[in-house]
Amino acid sequence: MARLFSPRPPPSEDLFYETYYSLSQQYPLLLLLLVIVLVGLLALLAVAWASGRELASDPGFLTTMLCGLGGFSLLLSLASREQRLQRWTRPLSGLVWAALLALGLGFLFTGGVVSAWDQVSFFLFVIFTVYAMLPLGMRDAAAAGLASSLSHLLVLGLYLGLQPDSQPALLPQLAANAVLFLCGNVAGAYHKALMERALRATFREALSSLHSRRRLDTEKKHQEHLLLSILPAYLAREMKAEIMARLQAGQGSRPESTNNFHSLYVKRHQGVSVLYADIVGFTRLASECSPKELVLMLNELFGKFDQIAKEHECMRIKILGDCYYCVSGLPLSLPDHAINCVRMGLDMCRAIRKLRAATGVDINMRVGVHSGSVLCGVIGLQKWQYDVWSHDVTLANHMEASGVPGRVHITGATLALLAGAYAVEDAAMEHGDPYLRELGEPTYLVIDPRAEEEDEKGTAGRLLSSLEGPKMRPSLLMTRYLESWGAAKPFAHLSHVESPVSTSTPLPVLVWGMRWPPVTLLPSHEPGEWGRTVTTHLHPLPWRLSSPARVLLLTSLHTLRIPFGAEESDCNQEKALSSFSPQWSLDRSRTPRGLDDELDTGDAKFFQVIEQLNSQKQWKQSEDFNPWTLYFREKEMEKEYRLSALPAFKYYAACTFLVFFSNFIIQMLVTNRPPALTITYSITFLLFFLLLFVCFSEHLTKCVLKGPKMLHWLPTLSVLVATRPGLRVALGTATILLVFSMAITSLVFLPAASNCPFRAPNVSFTASNLSWELPGSLPLISVPYSVHCCVLGFLSCSLFLHMSFELKLLLLLLWLAACCSLFLHSHAWLSDCLIARLYLGALDSSLLRPGVLKEPKLMGAISFFIFFFTLLVLARQNEYYCRLDFLWKKKLRQEQEETETMENLTRLLLENVLPAHVAPQFIGQNRRNEDLYHQSYECVCVLFASVPDFKEFYSESSINHEGLECLRLLNEIIADFDELLSKPKFSGVEKIKTICSTYMAATGLNATSGQDAQQDAEQSCSHLGTMVEFAVALGSKLDVINKHSFNNFRLRVGLNHGPVVAGVIGAQKPQYDIWGNTVNVASRMESTGVLGKIQVTEETACALQSLGYTCYSRGIIKVKGKGQLCTYFLNTDLTRTGPPSGTLG
């Protein structure tokens, strides 16, 4: 019972291919076959009437014709209705075959005397079309072909075997018929096998191309999201073009420019507001956190700030430790940019107040806002980060530094733009900040109108700290609370691109006219929703499709199994299915577009591909083909197609040899084998064996190599035939002409003059002595079998599937003209003589003239025309699919190359955001974003290198385009620094970020967690030497820039080493960063350092001295937040004790 009510499994890929094959490729052929039969029947009636025959005198023939016309007209009307064909394809094909068979048997017994050679050509037509034109599988076609052959042989054998011995020997004729039918079956099966193989390959290539396109679209979406996670859209387009140029020129190189400067992507914007925010007390809190807690805390905090920024139309620029700054008015100008920033600052303070109230952790938010103009863009070559520069940005930074915790500190310029939207109060403080003190302008604190309401309501959130606070560390308590904010994970949007199906969605399937039960998709990444079933219905199609396409639409969702590089499991098949049908996602928030858009773009592309496989498309206007000649519109592609290799040519030649061999056996059976005919065939056999040896010589390589060296070139002959189109065409044409000529060779040995002894008036049936031979010549019975051999000649032309249509047309026309000329003109008397002998002594006057199909010359002419048009249709079909196969292969190669380029571009972009060892965590088929990336390291060397003189150099005036030219020089400095990273010896140096004119880098980040602790101190900190060498190289680069720019910039460097925490935070603009006391002290080493010197801590100095470097003490200095520290300067005159090196200053 369970089986009865269980859902029927979806159709397999083979069934889907068979559906496509029968509907797309064989459906038009079926219609054409019925049309050809109907036209042939009408032509028979016309010939019978034109030849003066009285149709009423032969009621059997007339009845057969009328029944045939009615029956095939009915079948044509049924086949024209595609809905019926979808459900009854095999029964309809069986009816067509049965009707053809019945028509052939009817022709046998109407129109005159029954002979062994009667309707052989018609049955040969039935056999071949069963394979080539009916939508049947190979087994069904073979069964139908063999049944057709046996029906003719058995019916004639039984019928003629019981007749008096008034005809030539029956067995040789039946044997000849059997050879003809066997050849027809083999040729038909060969044609069907090759066509199915080509069609299946084309079908798979089309689906592979579709998959490649979807991969390409996915990669483009990845690039778009990656670029937009770093840069605004207007800047992303410009920089993407340069990345593509770099990829084409080779990674690491940059395209040649007309000047010596690197590309500068910086623009000036006026009317913006800049917000700086710093979390007060976070440094102390962070020191108590585990690496995971720290990264989670930062991601949740800054994720919340990103949400607030999005609500207030602000753009986050960068995260510097626990400092967050953003801009309103970029990239598009906004009239209320100042109000946006103030609102955002108030909301940030409010969020921190709620956090402090709920957890009891002593942290606060200090915010500074200033309005003015900025230069915004990207500088450098690696680790791009959108940034802003100007005096107004510097002022906003100082407004934050001198602000009050929990308040928003604004300048007079911002206050003027608020237009009374917020109440303010004077800051009324003696500015400890020298920068603000020097400006001497008043500043203001914004009054939050909701602050008093919150105080009156109280803080119910304190319940959390009161309940759990005494039992839990403040950092853990804060982490627990922040998790409730639910900030998005970094690069989470990229996983949505690849896994658009987010809910369980049953998909109804309609195939062969029956509705399959819904199948529920269960995405593996949401195990909590396994029990939920969502009922859905097919969305109305927004485009018009034929009925076959509608079947394909409904079956494709279940039957496609495209390899996505995943393991073969149900889950992976569902993922593969979801990648083809992204529109079935019900979670609109996680998909980039709605259902209608996905239908228009996702499955619409799929059905555009499938519809192009339909053979009816060859007659319609196409971007790729000329609808009349089928030539490619691109001349280069046409040339490439004609010059393409054809390894299957040898099989074409082998099957043509089979046709030739069949002709040989037939003529040996029905003739008296004259010596001249035997000699002619011997020579032809020799030529064919030579051709086959040339075609299959590569298979004889082992044998040839064992022989004399002078024969070692023979195996290359088959390669030449397969790769040289000129040679291939010449050999193919010669082979077909050879078959043509040998099919009519027996006629050469018949008399040329019309000297028929059976047509003399004084000849009686008794006097003829039952002879069927002309005096001194071949038997007359060879005449109809010469017609049948000519029909096999037509078939030989169709065996060369990849031969061009125009050449096939020329050969078929030539053969049609030759055959009709022979049998209707020059040797027509032979047919008349045979009929005279066959009807010699007939007593019934109605039998003195046989029916149309009983007369060899008319039967032959009609057969020739039917085979000519049938094979012409198949030749056109073959030409179309050969070209389509070539086109799909070419498109697939191009798309794979483009996809590979896009994948490289995606990898390059991601590695430009993240370190090379971190990028694989966020890219690839198996990317997972459930966990934040974080890593702790025991020994990392951190470098801060700044150019303090640049602050004095920077100015904003009309001469330097409001500071733009100053930034151009800074871009050259940073870009030259970045170029050092491509050197092998600095491969371990990782750039972290740039902060104005300060360059931050680190070494030791590519070591695995815990690896350093297991190694001795000297080995674990050996990368400190690499960082020192890098710092010296930075100084050398700056010296070169000074020489060319006539400046005197000097580098100030601070180094420190120790444990750090690394991670990726931020959903809107994911950013890789490192945190810890080691980073803070390294920054202080730079800010308290001396120009031209490398300042290090005492611990770092000891480690460097153990590596062979020389350090000398600076003394004890005061370091903000650290108290009194003893620091050292690195001796850069001799970086190591021994060989000299370049100086830093």
Active-site residues: which are they?
1084, 1120
Count other C-beta atoms under 10 Å from residue 402's C-beta.
19
Identify the CA nearest to 407 among candidates 360, 449, 445. 445
| Rounded CA separation 578/571 (Å) | 10
Q: Is the dihedral of CA 296, 298, 301, 303 positive or negative?
A: negative
Q: What is the CA radius of gyration of the chain?
A: 44
| Rounded CA separation 333/331 (Å) | 7
The one-letter amino acid at 949: D
Q: Which residues contact 306 (CB under 8 A, 6 or more apart)?
A: 316, 487, 1066, 1067, 1068, 1069
Identify the CA nearest to 350 among candidates 241, 271, 455. 455
The one-letter amino acid at 720: L
3-state secondary structure of 824: helix
Direct distance between the N- and C-terminal alpha carbons of the chain, in angstroms, rounded to an integer: 89
Identify the CA nearest to 54 among candidates 866, 848, 823. 848
| Rounded CA separation 1060/1000 (Å) | 14
Contact call for residues 630 and 879 (beta carbons, < 8 A): yes
Per DSSP (E only), the strands in 915-1047 are 934-946, 989-995, 998-1003
Tell me the sheet residues that pair with 1113.
1128
Structure tokens at 209: 């191309």
Q: Is the dihedral of CA 678, 683, 684, 688 positive or negative?
A: positive
Burial class (CB in 10 A: 0-12, 13-18, 19+), 471: exposed
| Rounded CA separation 1032/1093 (Å) | 10
| Rounded CA separation 1053/1118 (Å) | 17
Q: To which H or E segment does residue 365 belong?
A: strand 364-378
Tell me the sheet residues that pair with 161.
none
Burial class (CB in 10 A: 0-12, 13-18, 19+), 202: buried
Residue 421 is classified by DSSP as S
Q: To which H or E segment does residue 483 belong?
A: helix 474-483
Q: What does residue 936 show for φ and ψ, rounded to 5 degrees?
A: -105, 145
DSSP for 160-207, please give it. Answer: HHTS-S-SS-HHHHHHHHHHHHHHHHHHHHHHHHHHHHHHHHHHHHHH
Residue 225 is classified by DSSP as H
3-state secondary structure of 697: helix
Residue with the two structure tokens 């105080």: 455
Strands 1094-1097 and 1052-1065, bridge-based pairing:
parallel
- HEC string of 672-684 equals CCCHHHHHHHHHH
Tell me the sheet residues that pair with 319.
324
Cis previous bond, 490, omega within 30: no
Contact call for residues 134 and 34 (beta carbons, < 8 A): no
Give me the half-sphere count of Cα atoms (radius 13 Å) on the Cβ side of residue 943.
29
| Rounded CA separation 1075/1060 (Å) | 6
Q: Is the dihedral of CA 1083, 1086, 1087, 1089 positive or negative?
A: positive
